[in-house]
Structure formats: structure tokens, C-alpha cells
Amino acid sequence: MYVYRPHDKQLLNERVAQFRDQTRRFLDGQLSNDEFLPLRLQNGLYIQRYAPMLRVSVPYGMLSSTQLRMLGRIAREWDKGYAHVSTRQNIQYNWPDLEDVPDILAALAEVEMHAIQTSGNCIRNVTTDEFAGINAAEIEDPRPWCEIIRQWATFNPEFAYLPRKFKIAVNAVPDADPALIGVHDIGVQIVHRGGETGFQVLAGGGLGRTPMVGEVIGDFVPWPHLLSYLEAILRVYNKYGNRDNKYKARIKILVKALGAEKFRALTEAEFAELKDGPMTLTAEEVDVMRGHFSEPAYDPSLTNRPAALEQALASNKAFNRWFHTNVTAHRQPGYAAVTLTLKKTGRAPGDLTDEEFDAVADLADQFSFAEARTTHQQNIVLGDVRQDQLFPLWEKLDALGFATPNLKLLTDMIACPGGDFCSLANAKSIPIAEAIQRHFDDMDYLHDLGPIDVNISGCMNACGHHHIGHIGILGVDKKGREYYQITLGGRGDKVSKIGEKLGPSFDADQVVPVIARLVDLYVEQRKPGELFIDTYERLGIEPFKERAYATDH
Amino acid sequence: MPQIIKDGAIVEDRWQWLDAEALAAQQALPEGAVIVPLAYWQAHRDSLKARGDVAVCLEPGEEPVALADDLADLPMVAIHFPAFKDGRGYSYARELRTRYGFKGEIRALGDVLRDQLFYLQRVGFNAFVIRADRDIHDALNGLKDFSVTYQGDVHDPRPIYRRH
Ligand code: HEM
Ligand code: SF4
């Protein structure tokens, strides 16, 4: 993973000093609320329902065990003993005091972490596949490119006051979209053409109240020009994005309004000026960056499916089930990636306690080269586990309650903090997630159902990705009461697709019965091997609609 | 005389800024160094050029391309920030420096505050009229928030990994 050099550290220290001073001036009344707002936002600090919320950046999801321990310590010392993994691979704290934030940032800086540009109208944390660097299907490791983008974006002076937030994701897997690039402001698809690395660049995707899938703007941008091309897009957006109405300010609205053709022409004009200029990357620079992501010291003598693993699979049913659900193939023979689903019943999806941070750090040290990853599904991955160590690891995870074999299954939900924490919420999302977990608690049944993405957002801002859930649940407010609108057929797995509304929204206590009916219909109608989403795409929404509202007639 | 920040120091300033409204209230353009709106400049370009002490202020939405042919005759281009959160002016300044090679003064007017100065100077502004209710001496510190920068800027186009 990227290890800081002295100048990276220096920059963070200067940032901490800057924010400490800004906070002091705000508390002294020298900075107005309006003036402090974008400053604190660019440091990940929202003022929420009960307290500020602090969002800590986890660049492309990579964490060292030292960083995990610090995240746990912060939860213990400055929060209420827990933190939240977000859909953008970041970590959020719900209860810090504003006065403490400079100290929290100083603590983070000790372990090469920060909250820079985790909110506000600027370029946010760059995200990618949680299996980056270990996914056998990827054509190259996307993380060096992510880091190149991160450095370009960090405190970029021209793009600190954009019309609206700006999210970039990078994907290196052909035929699948684990990084959800289709629904990012810019999606970067790494492609190899004629022996050359380049990028297909999408722009204008995004969720929120007007969900859209991005359009291809640059079909093949040769690798030396990555930053020049991104800069060209950002400059077009900075100049022409809507600034009068924040609901129309995202780049997706601009791309839509101009049309992809016109947007591309404007981008190409800016690009023509930047191309071959000082932003052009050299092979040597990219190699140095790749060097920061060299692979860990794998044991080359290991092979897949060692005897110890086979034996455990044959003798322990629970382990076997977990292996087939939560363990992902690795490009290095003899290794595997393990996902810890953070979806304990009765706990907000994605939450970890301080002790759990420490426990995961210990496991990372012991089993996975002292590294872990966060995922947009609000889970944690130990990426480099020896296959012959999977059983002992599973035993420890089981003891910690992190071995629930439900990765990608119906109870591996995404949910935003919703009305329990967020002041923008129309409705709560955590209790809905919990009700679903309580109802669907039969592991055999869940496994029989197979992969189903259930995504829950407490309002149309869509932090819980409801638009791209196979089943999406959206909190809506009707005359002060909380209702839930259900969408079907969204996906963010292979392609990005925005879900379709089922019909009128439901009372909170109707959500679980409705989902149960939708799932029943799938079970009745599925062909052998067909997933929920496949059956839905084959049948269309009508039969689901009929079934969902059947008892209401 | 009012004070501004220019080239990293606090200096006395003789320029008078007239926006469209202030200009409309005047019979004729006053004597002395004056900053006028783009529309006024375009309407009286030839006579103003001859004076040599007239500068133009761009509002958000008014791009530098409008001045492309005039830059050689302008001692200064000002860029107005009605609200500091409107970041269009950052791209305008950068374009003036890197696309048009403008060497004159680029001045930030309006909602210009300490916490934006570091970014503003990096995209090409070298003069700042700090909002009247703020302490200009305090604002000066904003130019020195960071000693490290990752990406190139108008002063040094090289990214950090190329600056040896
Ligand atoms: C609790 C405080 C939070 C607030 C005030 C907040 C606010 C918002 C707002 C206003 C939007 C809509 C942006 C737009 O439409 O332009 C948004 C989108 C989003 N937020 Fe949050 N959010 C919060 C927490 C979270 C959390 C906890 C997550 C992750 C679980 C998250 C991830 C996202 C994502 C993925 C989007 C959609 C991105 C897109 O529109 O393309 N946010 N958020
Ligand atoms: S979706 Fe709405 S309720 Fe949920 S966190 Fe985002 S803004 Fe808050």
C-alpha cells in the first residue's frame, strides 16, 4: 500500500495546523457559520442531528493494522465506542465534539490518515474495487492510478469550490463494475488496446435525487494523458456547472443538459491545450507509483486447495458454507480474500466497535500481511490470507461474530445512517435493516435465495445506493409520517442500472412483508440457476407489482 | 489610501473599482486608476485603452476569452467573487495565466477571505482586496498555510514527483 514519504506527512501536519486555527477562529466568532461551513466540510465535518459527523478518508479502501487500531482508539476516546464503514469506503464517526476534531485529525495524521476532501464541493476520495491488486479478473492493479489521481486532486487549487461534490472511481476489471464507475461523476475504466494501457473515461453518472448512468466521454485516453483529461473535464464542469440550484449542480445535470456530444467537444478543446503539457505522466513516474503497491511477500511454493483446507471443508459444515460465501478467489495461488460482513442483527450495517477495530487489526497482522480493506458494501476484507490458514481464521472470526456466511445475500444490506443520525433524513433506515435481518434469519433459506442486493437510503440523497439495489428501499416523508418506496431491478454489479419504482410507498411495518412477497414470487418463478435479478429482468416489473400490492386490494 | 495584499505584502492601493451600478451613477468615468465592468470596457474599448490606467473586472460567467485581444493593453484583470463559494474565478485566473500568458496583475475582488488565499495565489491571483470587515494582517497568513503541494500550479507546473 502507499506509504507516506516525508512531504506527505508534512502536508498532513500543515493541514492539521490550518484546521486547528480555523476551528479556533470559528469558536472565537471570527469566522461566520457560512464561512466555516465549506472549510469544515472539506475536512469531512458535517453538523448532524445530535453532533458533528466526521468522515475519515480511506483512499481506495486500503487500511493498515496500525490505522485500524487508531480508528478504534478514536472511537474509544472521542466517540461512543463505534464507527461506521460508508458506501464510499470511508469511516464515519457520529459523535465527536467540534472542539476535539483538531486533536482527532492530529491523531489520524500520526498514522498517515486524514479527512481531507471527504465532503464539500470538491473532489472526494477516489474509490475502486475492494479486491484491487488481488482480483484475477483485473487487467492491472488500479491502485497506482488511484494514487496518482488522489495526489492530483488533493488540495487542487482550481477545483476546491466546484458547483457540487465530485466523486471519481476507477475500475480495472473488464465486463464487471465492482467500483460502480457507472454511477460516479467520473468513472475511469482501465483498458488495454493494442498493447497500450489507456482509459475509457465516463462522466455524468451519479445517484442522489436524479440518478443517472455516466456517458462515455473519452473512449480511449492513452495513459500519459490521464490527468490532463481529468483536468479538462473538471475545468469544463467548474466553468459551466449550475451554481444557482444545488439540486441541479452535479456534473450529471450538465452532461445531460449539453448532451454527451457537446460536453465531449468542450472537454476535447480543453484537453487539446493541456495534452503533452506538464501534466503528462512519464513511464518512470508511473513505475515509481506502481512500486508503492508491490505485492506482499507471498510464499511462491503454495498451491490452491491445500490439504488442510480440503480437510476442514470436508469435516466442518459451517466452515464449508462460509468458505463458499465469504471467501473470494485470489490471483496468487494458495491465497484467498476473506470478507467480514459487518451486518450483525441489531447493529447498524457497517458499524464496528473500538474493540472490533483492534480485533480486526490483530487478525490482519496474523493472517493478511497487516492490511485490510473497506468495501462499498460496508464490509471489511482481509485480502491476502493463506488458504491453509482459512480454517483457523474462520474460528477466530466466528468467535468474534464476523463469520456470518451472508456475503452478497439478502441480509448483506447497504444502509445509510438515516433518521437515527442524519438531519436530512425523511425516514429511518437502520430499524428497517434490522427488521429485514430479523425476518430473514434462516441461513438455509438465504443461501437458497442466492445473491440479492438490498440497499436502503433514508432520503433521496441516496447515500445507501437504493437506486442500484436489486431491491431498493427509499425513505419518504408524507405529511410527517415515514413511508418507504421500493424500487426493483437496479444493479451496480456488472452494469449500472437504475431501479424502477414498484408503486405507492409502504408503511414501515409493511416493508418486510412486501419484500417477503417479492422474494416468494422469485422463488416460484425462477428457472434453475437464475438469480433474483435475472428473474426480474426476464419477467419485468408487472408480476412483482401485482404480488407486492396483492393484499392491499 | 485603502490597503490590499499584493505580491505577498500589504500595500497602499490607488485603484477604484466601479461596478455597473456605481458606473451608472457617475456622469463620466473618474480620473485615476479605475476598474470597470466587461460590458463597459467592450463599449468604450478604444478610448479606455488609450488611458492606460483602466482595468476590467470579470464577473462569474464572463470568461477570459472575452478579453483575449485586449490583454496586451490591460495592466490588470480583476475577477469578482460575489460569494467565495463560486469557484469559476479560479479557472478564469488559471486560463489568463496559462492559456493567454497574461503577465499583468490578477486581482481578486468581493468575498475575498483568508482561507481561500492559498488556492487563489496558486491559480494566478497576485492581488487581493480583502473583504472590508476582515483584518488584512490576519488574512496575509492565509498565503502561507502550506509548504507542500502535490500538483503543479501557475508558478511551477511540475507535480511534486518531478520537482527534484
Ligand atoms: C449522515 C450524514 C450524511 C449527510 C448529511 C449526507 C449528505 C448527502 C447528500 C446531500 C447527498 C446527495 C448529493 C447530491 O445529490 O448531489 C449524498 C449522497 C451520497 N452520500 Fe451521503 N450523507 C451522509 C452520510 C453518508 C453515509 C453514511 C454514506 C455511506 C454509507 C454516504 C454516501 C453517499 C453516497 C454514496 C451518495 C450518493 C452519491 C451520488 O449522488 O452520486 N453519505 N449524501
Ligand atoms: S440518504 Fe439521506 S438520510 Fe441517508 S445518510 Fe444520506 S442524506 Fe442522510
* Same structural domain, A245 and A278: yes
Residue A11 C-alpha, separation from nearest chain B C-alpha, in angstroms: 6
Residue A369's SS3 state is coil
Q: Is the CB of A166 under 6 A from ligand 1?
A: no
* Same structural domain, A157 and A285: yes
Cα–Cα distance measured from residue A446 to residue A404, given in angstroms and rounded to the nearest whole number:
12
Give percent of chain A with pLDDT exceeding 70: 99
Selecting from A18, A161, A278 the residue whose C-beta is nearest the C-beta of B86 gives A161
> From B91, which residue of chain A is nearest by alpha-carbon distance?
A158
* Same structural domain, A178 and A256: yes
pLDDT of A552 strictly over 70: no
Residue A444's SS3 state is helix
Name the residue at shortest CA distance from atom 2 of ligand 2.
Answer: A459
Q: String of b and e for B131-146 (b: at least 16 CB within 10 Å)?
A: beeeebeebbebbebb
DSSP A374-424: E-TTS-EEEEEEEGGGHHHHHHHHHHHT---S-TTSTTS-EE--GGGT-TT
Number of domains making up chain A: 4
CA dihedral B82→B85→B88→B90, nearest 10 degrees, is: 100
Q: Which of A461, A467, A474, A496 to mutate to test the pocket of ligand 1 (most atoms within 8 A of CB)?
A: A461
**B contacts of A154 (beta carbons < 8 Å):** 150-151
Name the residue at shortest CA distance from atom 6 of ligand 2.
Answer: A463
Selecting from B145, B149, B159 the residue whose C-beta is nearest the C-beta of A18 gives B145
* Same structural domain, A325 and A420: no
Q: Is residue A407 part of a domain?
A: no
Cα–Cα distance measured from residue A174 to residue A389, given in angstroms and rounded to the nearest whole number:
30
Q: Is residue A541 part of a domain?
A: yes
For residue A198, the cross-strand partners are: A191, A222
Cα–Cα distance measured from residue A180 to residue A492, given in angstroms and rounded to the nearest whole number:
6
> From B86, which residue of chain A is nearest by alpha-carbon distance?
A161
Contact A11 B146 (CB under 8 A): yes
Identify the CATH number of the domain in which residue A443 sits: 3.30.413.10
* Same structural domain, A205 and A179: yes
- Ligand found nearest the CA of A184: 1
Identify the CATH number of the domain in which residue B34 sits: 3.40.50
Residue A104 C-alpha, separation from nearest chain B C-alpha, in angstroms: 20
Predicted confidence at residue A464, as pLDDT, reads 93
* SS3 annotation, A183-250: HCCEEEEEEEECCEEEEEEEECCECCCCCECCEEEEEEEEHHHHHHHHHHHHHHHHHHCCCCCHHHCC
Mean pLDDT value across residues A364-376: 96
Contact B99 A278 (CB under 8 A): no
Mean pLDDT value across residues A42-65: 86
Name the residue at shortest CA distance from atom 11 of ligand 1.
Answer: A461
- Ligand found nearest the CA of A207: 1
- Give the tens place of pLDDT for each residue, B54-95: 999 999 999 999 999 999 999 999 999 999 999 999 999 999
Q: Is the CB of A421 under 6 A from ligand 1?
A: yes
Cell of B54: 483602466
**A contacts of B153 (beta carbons < 8 Å):** 157
* Same structural domain, A249 and A176: yes
Going by C-alpha positions, the residue among A184, A153, A179 that lies closest to residue A167 is A184
Q: Is residue A420 part of a domain?
A: yes
* Same structural domain, A319 and A386: yes
pLDDT of A150 strictly over 80: yes
Contact B63 A15 (CB under 8 A): no
- Alpha carbon of A45 to ligand 1 centroid (Å): 13
Q: Is the ipTM reported for this complex over the cut 0.90?
A: yes
Atom of ligand 1 nearest to the CA of A205: 41
Q: Is residue A405 part of a domain?
A: no
- Give the tens place of pLDDT for each residue, A93-144: 988 888 999 999 999 999 999 999 999 999 999 999 999 999 999 999 999 9
Atom of ligand 1 nearest to the CA of A206: 41
Identify the CATH number of the domain in which residue A384 sits: 3.90.480.20
Contact A152 B159 (CB under 8 A): yes
Q: Is residue A116 part of a domain?
A: no
Q: Is the CB of A376 under 6 A from ligand 1?
A: no
Mean pLDDT value across residues A392-398: 97
pLDDT-based confidence at residue A50 (cuts at 50, 70, 90): low
The total of other beta-carbon atoms located within 10 Å of residue B27's CB is 5
pLDDT-based confidence at residue A49 (cuts at 50, 70, 90): low
The last residue of one of the domains, among A353, A374, A400, is A400
Mean pLDDT value across residues B115-120: 96
* Same structural domain, A106 and A209: no
Output the CA–CA distances (angstroms, integers) from residue A529 to A185, A329, A532, in the order listed.
35, 21, 10
Half-sphere exposure of A358 (CA within 13 A, CB side): 10
Helix (H), strand (E) at residue B129 = none
**B contacts of A11 (beta carbons < 8 Å):** 146, 148, 150
Structural domain span for residue A75: 6-110
Please provide the average confidence, as pLDDT, over all residues in chain A. Answer: 94
Predicted confidence at residue B149, as pLDDT, reads 96
pLDDT-based confidence at residue B1 (cuts at 50, 70, 90): confident
Q: Is the CB of A458 under 6 A from ligand 2?
A: yes
- Give the tens place of pLDDT for each residue, A471-525: 999 999 998 899 999 999 999 877 889 999 999 999 999 999 999 999 999 999 9
Which positions 138-157 of A are in contact with B (Cβ < 8 Å)? 151-152, 154-157
Q: Answer positive or negative: Cα dihedral of A40, A43, A46, A51.
A: negative
* Same structural domain, A523 and A387: no
> From B162, which residue of chain A is nearest by alpha-carbon distance?
A285
pLDDT-based confidence at residue A553 (cuts at 50, 70, 90): very low
* Same structural domain, A147 and A282: yes
The last residue of one of the domains, among A110, A125, A158, is A110
**B contacts of A8 (beta carbons < 8 Å):** 148
Name the residue at shortest CA distance from atom 17 of ligand 1.
Answer: A461
Q: Is residue A336 part of a domain?
A: yes
Q: Is residue A52 part of a domain?
A: yes
Q: Which of A463, A466, A476, A482 to mutate to test the pocket of ligand 2 (most atoms within 8 A of CB)?
A: A463
The total of other beta-carbon atoms located within 10 Å of residue A429's CB is 33
* Same structural domain, A170 and A102: no
Residue B37 C-alpha, separation from nearest chain A C-alpha, in angstroms: 19
Cα–Cα distance measured from residue A121 to residue A214, given in angstroms and rounded to the nearest whole number:
19
Predicted confidence at residue A48, as pLDDT, reads 64
Cα–Cα distance measured from residue A203 to residue A447, given in angstroms and rounded to the nearest whole number:
37
Q: Is A216 on the interface with B (CB under 8 A)?
A: no
Cα–Cα distance measured from residue A94 to residue A52, given in angstroms and rounded to the nearest whole number:
7
- Alpha carbon of A544 to ligand 1 centroid (Å): 29
Atom of ligand 2 nearest to the CA of A464: 1
Structural domain span for residue B30: 3-162
* Same structural domain, A254 and A215: yes
Number of domains making up chain B: 1
Predicted confidence at residue A1, as pLDDT, reads 83
> From B121, which residue of chain A is nearest by alpha-carbon distance?
A157
Name the residue at shortest CA distance from atom 29 of ligand 1.
Answer: A86
Q: Is residue A134 part of a domain?
A: no
Give percent of chain A with pLDDT exceeding 90: 88
pLDDT of B117 strictly over 90: yes
pLDDT of A88 strictly over 90: no
- Give the tens place of pLDDT for each residue, A430-455: 999 999 999 999 999 999 999 999 99
> From A10, which residue of chain B is nearest by alpha-carbon distance?
B148
Cα–Cα distance measured from residue A386 to residue A371, given in angstroms and rounded to the nearest whole number:
14
- The type of residue at A372 is A
Cα–Cα distance measured from residue A105 to residue A115, given in angstroms and rounded to the nearest whole number:
7
